[in-house]
Structure 1
Amino acid sequence: MAHRTLHDVRIGRPENSVSGAKAAMAAGYGLEIDLQLSSDGVAMVFHDDLLQRLTRHYGKVRDHTAAQLQAMRLSHGDEGIPTFADFLQLVNGQVPLLVEIKDQDGALGPDTGDMEQAACDDLKGYDGAVALMSFNPHSVAKCAEFAPHIPRGLVTDPFLTDDWPDVDAARLAELARIPDYDRVGACFISHNVNDLDAPRVAELKSSGASVFCWTVKSAEQEADARRIVDNVTFEGYLA
């Protein structure tokens, strides 16, 4: 799965872009993408909460309408931020889609629902292979409520405090144990590639869970990861 599409800013293909999606599909790769919510409730294909790393604009994604976001140019390219609905129309079932719903609560807590509803609404009638996932188990539970037929999983991690400075340490320790897998009806995890030897990963795999990983950055790292995982999310090389 091409991480945030098959992006390469050196040749004008930004993250989560239409051009990156087209390149991935042409090469036969599946697509991993991210969703954020606009101020008017539209699911947008974009990774960060803030605009400034990936566009020439500043501020929060959620403070702008879908039309405003579409009009913004992605850095290192000449295209706007796509809506999820437009992205689905582009992919049209040609390759599998792995869709990460970014945390809207801010602390991986229960303040979820709007983003998940928007994404699931866009997926009504979509006929391609697709799965939904999130670091926030509450988001995954909402996906189970709104679209129980769509496969769903948890994005998982050691959840170290240095990597998650805005989240309470007790919450991080809880999530590191991956306690919500059964509760949310998950069928896979996508785990940090640097933590694949964790006992909980082995336990879930032995119980029948599919195991993916993020983010693989070399062929050598991929070969090592495939001792354990069923598939990889990659960037920076051609898998």
Structure 2
Amino acid sequence: MFIVGHRGARASAPENTLRALEIGMACADYVEVDIRLSRDGVPVVMDDATLDRTTDGSGAVCTYLLSELKMLDAGDGEKIPTLQEIVSLVTGRCGLFVEIKEKGSEETVCRVLSGYDPEKLFVVSFHEESIRKVKDLLPGVRTGFIFSRCGGDPLSFAVSVRADAILPRKDLLTSSLVDPAH
């Protein structure tokens, strides 16, 4: 078992910012970030599809160039980081969970992650095709299937997409799920 700082230490600093990750690295084994692509195809760290909740901007992340995203305030003067900035920050210091939020961004994300220590990296997603694609592009990297709904057989599904881990919503985490997963 290990501790993961979800979106860094979002209770102590604006989520998915360099400051949140700095704080998260001090108290977690891994930090987790969410990745979307800017209009010019740069992987940026943002949970929501829109900027409204976490920045002083509005509208879809994918409609902004990186240079425009970098002018926004992500809270307390923090800026929206790129995945490359995150990798530079955490390399050699902490493990990293990268959540692919958008189908079709896998090649770009994997290009950035290709030099990262696979022993300290998990790439996770709700999207089955993202998990499969990451396994093809970075075979040594561990992947995880995130799910938040009851129904079906998540373990069989995870095996079918070659996921190394399952990440259920907290209320779905039961011994009847955990025991067979081990």
Normalising by structure 1, we get a TM-score of: 0.69
Q: How far is 1:57 from its partner? A: 0.9
The answer to whether residue 82 in structure 2 is matched with residue 80 in structure 1 is no
What displacement does 1:93 show? Answer: 2.7
CA distance, structure 2, for counterparts of residue 190 and residue 61 of structure 1: 25
The offset of 1:56, in angstroms, is: 0.9
Unaligned runs of 5+ in 2: none
Give the CA RMSD over aligned residues. Answer: 1.8
Structure-1 separation of matches of 2:73 and 2:123: 27
Query: How many equivalent pairs are there?
Result: 177
Question: Which residue number in structure 2 is paired with residue 206 of structure 1?
Answer: 180
- In structure 2, what is the Cα distance between the partners aligned to 1:139 and 1:20? 26
Map residues 137-216 of structure 1 onto 2, 5 A cutoff: 137-158=128-149, 176-178=152-154, 179-197=156-174, 199=176, 201-202=177-178, 205-208=179-182
Task: Return the alpha-carbon distance in structure 2 between the equivalents of residues 93 and 24 of structure 1.
Answer: 15
Task: Output the amino acid matched with 2:36.
Answer: Q
Secondary structure of 2:70 counterpart: helix
The superposition leaves residues 147-199 of structure 1 with CA deviations (integer Å, 9 ceiling, x where unpaired) of 1111101001225xxxxxxxxxxxxx5xx532521222111011111111274
- Residue 138 of structure 1 deviates from its aligned partner by 1.2
C-alpha contact 2:125 2:131 (8 A) present in aligned 1: yes
- The one-letter code sitting in structure 1 at the alignment partner of 2:89 is L
Q: Is the 8 A contact 2:8 2:25 kept in 1?
A: no
Q: Which residue of 2 aligns with 1:5?
A: 8
Tell me, yes or no, if the aligned pair for 2:36 and 2:100 is still in contact at 8 Å. Answer: yes
The answer as to 2:124 corresponding to 1:133 is yes
Match of 1:98 in 2: 97
CA spacing shift, 1:145–1:197, aligned 2, 3 Å: same
Tell me which residue corresponds to 1:36: 36
More displaced, 55-64 or 122-131? 122-131
Runs of 4+ in 1 over 6 A off after TM superposition: none
Deviates more, 1:185-194 or 1:21-30: 21-30
Distance 2:6 2:181 in 1: 27
Counterparts of 1:198 and 1:25 in 2: how far apart (Å)?
29
Question: How much has 1:28 moved relative to structure 2?
Answer: 4.3
Structure 1: 5+ residue stretches without partners: 105-111, 160-172, 209-239
From the CA coordinates, give the structure whose radius of gyration is larger: 1
CA distance in 2, matches of 1:52, 1:198: 38
C-alpha separation in 2, matches of 1:147 and 1:52: 33
How much identity, in percent, do the aligned residues show?
29
Aligned to 1:71, what secondary structure does the other structure show? coil
Instruction: Show the counterpart of 2:61.
Output: 61
What's the CA shift for 1:19?
0.4
